[in-house]
Amino acid sequence: MNEPIIPKQHEKRRNQPPFLAVYQKMFVVIAAALLVLFFIFPILRLVILSVSGESEVDLRHYQDILAEPQTWTVLQNTVVMVAGSTFLAVALGVFMAWLITYSDVRAKRFLHVLVLLPFVIPSYIVSLSWTQLMSSNGWFASVLTLLSENLEPWNLYSLGGMIFILGLSHYPLVYLFTVGVLKRIPRELEWAARSSGAGRIAVFWKVTMPIALPGIAGGGLLAFLANLDNFGIPAFLGIPANISVLSTAIYQEVVSVHADAFSRAAVLSVVLGGVAVLGTVVQWLLVRKSKQLETAREDRSPRFSLGKFRIWAESGLWTFLLFIGIVPLSAMTTTSFLRTYGLEWTWDNLTWDHYWYVLYENTNVQSALENSLLLACVTTVVVLIIGTIVAYIRINKPSPLNRAAETIITVPYALPGVVLALAMIFAWMEPIPGWNPGIYGSIWILFIAYSTRFMILQVRGSAAAFMQVGASMEEAAHVFGARGSVKWIKIMVPLILPGMLTGAFFVFLTSLTELTVSSLLWSAGHETIGVMIFNFEQAGYTTHSAALSSIVVMIFLAGFVFMMCGQTIWKKRGRKG
């Protein structure tokens, strides 16, 4: 009788030393405890506080808030803002993806970079740059005056302004999802429809759109979640105009001084977080469905020619992208050089004093720069190590437990930033009744919040790198005797390094300029760059906020160029190898 074949992984487990099995169990227990402490416990504290009474479960806070007319105004503003900005993001993202991917326009790589620019730059800086462009004493207002004395710049301190800036900031998300789907649609299907007599428009609506719809919907829902989560744009544009949405309403409740502030903020956070989590689940299902429609290979070649209209299409495309991406940033930079906000832009009114002030004279800005750099560096190193380990286990040792761990790690990023920040306050102000570990009010709570929020970004980046390498490479290393540290240093790390560093670099830049979480967790001496820009703008020091924002933009653009050059050099080295 033939003996049953034992899979290799079970054979390894059977032959491993007993102490190794003990260590593995200890590792699982410790990992589970850390997941509960840092990822689940804060959310539970938030939910519990929202229903806590004096001695039992109490829904009074929900009843009181839902009975207030102001609450329904906030909800109405939130729905209108999110729906309008998502519609704009989807329409603009799909059109840009279709035109750049399928047409024969030139310089597609540079167009791609310009499309991503409003998303790469922090949204509160994008908001600030557009307010400077549309100010009543800016150069854009002067141009409108030359056309007609009755023309005035658009007042962005309105619900319409918030919708516009949010849509421009997040349409690149829809663009990225749609480009990936469009490149994988077999052109044979379109040829078959054209040969049957269908025109180009009919092919687009009856063939291309139905196939691309799951991917487009996934990108649209991701834009919906980003619009729902965003705090910077509603804070910069909505608070001065007394227009509240859920994210800013939570912030205003926390910074107020009345007795029920935290409980009321917890109720609003549960509502906002519930919508965000539900949207994340739907988005995941749509993305999963879109992946089933992918072909094995991307088709990057153009599918139609613009002919004699190409030069006009390219001119319009470049003009639009430069206007929404570069012109507002230029207006913000010019404002940073004015001696006083509101003066005309002449040589006599220009100065470097604001840059000197924010870099050398204001100790709070210097402290904020140091804090942000420290938080970004430490967060990046921690999530790079832990996230890569989690990704390796998730890809090479799949199990229901590992999938559950990845889902738990996703929750802090899926939740809106103000909701996570409030959860961190409740968790670490007094984790055990009567005991304050001193984390709340220190820089440590910012580090914990950043690490939990951005961990999933590194997990996904490293997981993608491991999937590209494949398990066969690791098995080949074992066959040829490379084990332990030798296998990782000489074989695995060089192969996965580009994917790891891409995720780490994104975590670094995001942490460096983070505002949403920091707006509720900062304390005196622990300000961050985003908080300082926000405080400058709220206090009316527009030239200072513009100068500091311009410095941040330069850092981002330099980092973006550095990353692209690094990827190009690495690809060339790979081809030579």
Q: What single string gives the DSSP state of each residue in 330-389? A: HHHHHHHTBSSTT----GGGB-SHHHHIIIII-HHHHHHHHHHHHHHHHHHHHHHHHHHH
Residue 129 domain-assigned?
Answer: yes
Structural domain including 188 reads 64-295
**pTM of structure:** 0.84
Q: Tell which of 279, 295, 311 closes a domain.
A: 295
Helix, strand and coil in the chain, % to nearest 5: 75, 0, 20
Average pLDDT over residues 491-505: 76
CA-closest candidate to residue 412, choices 53, 105, 59, 37 = 37
The C-alpha atoms of residue 417 and residue 225 are separated, in whole angstroms, by 11
pLDDT, averaged across the chain: 83
pLDDT exceeds 90 at position 556: no
The C-alpha atoms of residue 462 and residue 465 are separated, in whole angstroms, by 5
Q: What is the pLDDT of residue 482?
A: 59
Average pLDDT over residues 269-286: 80
Pair (96, 197) in one structural domain? yes
Average pLDDT over residues 110-119: 88
Residue 237: pLDDT band (50, 70, 90) is: very high
The C-alpha atoms of residue 221 and residue 270 are separated, in whole angstroms, by 20
Residue 300: pLDDT band (50, 70, 90) is: confident
Q: Which residue has the higher pLDDT, 22 or 384?
A: 384
The proportion of the chain whose per-residue pLDDT surpasses 90, expressed as a percent, equals: 32
Tokens for 381, please give them. Answer: 């190193």
Winning range, highest mean pLDDT, from 25-34, 330-339, 553-562? 330-339
CA-closest candidate to residue 358, choices 128, 558, 536, 510 = 536
Q: What is the pLDDT of residue 576?
A: 58
Winning range, highest mean pLDDT, from 272-276, 287-291, 371-375, 504-508? 371-375
Residue 306 domain-assigned?
Answer: no
Residues 6+ apart with CB under 8 A from 540: none
Residue 515 domain-assigned?
Answer: yes
Alpha-carbon 99 to chain mean position? 25
The proportion of the chain whose per-residue pLDDT surpasses 70, expressed as a percent, equals: 86
Q: What is the pLDDT of residue 188?
A: 77
Q: Tell which of 237, 272, 295 closes a domain.
A: 295
Pair (78, 201) in one structural domain? yes
pLDDT exceeds 80 at position 405: yes
Residue 31 domain-assigned?
Answer: no
Q: What is the pLDDT of residue 471?
A: 61
CATH code where residue 242 lies: 1.10.3720.10
Pair (291, 370) in one structural domain? no
Pair (268, 407) in one structural domain? no
Residue in this structure with the two tokens 């930079």, named with its chain if needed: 333
Q: Where are the beta strands (DSSP E) in 420-511?
A: none
Average pLDDT over residues 103-116: 88
Q: What is the pLDDT of residue 295?
A: 46
Pair (104, 252) in one structural domain? yes
Burial of 216 (0-12, 13-18, 19+ CB in 10 A): buried
The C-alpha atoms of residue 181 and residue 96 are separated, in whole angstroms, by 13
| 452 to 38, 416, 443, 499, 535: CA distances (angstroms) | 7, 13, 15, 20, 25
Residue 388 domain-assigned?
Answer: yes
Domain count along the chain: 2
Tokens for 28, please give them. Answer: 């699982």
Average pLDDT over residues 356-368: 92
Pair (291, 367) in one structural domain? no
The C-alpha atoms of residue 311 and residue 329 are separated, in whole angstroms, by 26
Residue 553 domain-assigned?
Answer: yes
CA-closest candidate to residue 121, choices 568, 461, 558 = 558
Average pLDDT over residues 494-508: 80
Winning range, highest mean pLDDT, from 134-148, 253-267, 413-427, 561-575? 413-427
Residue 470: pLDDT band (50, 70, 90) is: low
Pair (229, 375) in one structural domain? no
Residue 138: pLDDT band (50, 70, 90) is: confident
Segment 535-553, tens digit of pLDDT: 999 888 999 999 999 998 8
> Do residues 128 and 537 make contact, with C-beta atoms less than 8 angstroms apart?
yes
Residue in this structure with the two tokens 């379109």, named with its chain if needed: 190
Average pLDDT over residues 355-370: 92
Average pLDDT over residues 125-150: 83
Q: Tell which of 295, 328, 348 closes a domain.
A: 295
Segment 158-214, tens digit of pLDDT: 999 999 999 999 999 899 888 878 887 777 777 777 777 777 777 777 777 777 777
Q: Which residue has the higher pLDDT, 218 or 408?
A: 408
The C-alpha atoms of residue 487 and residue 202 are separated, in whole angstroms, by 54
Segment 433-442, tens digit of pLDDT: 778 888 998 9
The C-alpha atoms of residue 327 and residue 309 are separated, in whole angstroms, by 26
Pair (257, 384) in one structural domain? no
Pair (277, 388) in one structural domain? no
Residue in this structure with the two tokens 């390219």, named with its chain if needed: 314
Tokens for 374, please give them. Answer: 């420290």
Burial of 45 (0-12, 13-18, 19+ CB in 10 A): buried
According to DSSP H, which parts of 103-243 are helical? 108-120, 123-133, 139-147, 159-182, 187-195, 200-203, 209-229, 232-233
pLDDT exceeds 50 at position 8: no
Residue 337 domain-assigned?
Answer: no
DSSP 485-497: HHHIIIIIHHHHH
The C-alpha atoms of residue 135 and residue 128 are separated, in whole angstroms, by 11
Segment 35-80, tens digit of pLDDT: 888 888 999 988 888 887 665 677 887 888 889 999 999 999 999 9
Pair (568, 430) in one structural domain? yes
Pair (242, 109) in one structural domain? yes
Q: What is the pLDDT of residue 342?
A: 77
Q: What is the pLDDT of residue 488?
A: 66
Residue 10: pLDDT band (50, 70, 90) is: very low
Residue 284 domain-assigned?
Answer: yes
| 459 to 415, 420, 449: CA distances (angstroms) | 17, 19, 16
Q: What is the pLDDT of residue 432?
A: 80
Pair (378, 257) in one structural domain? no
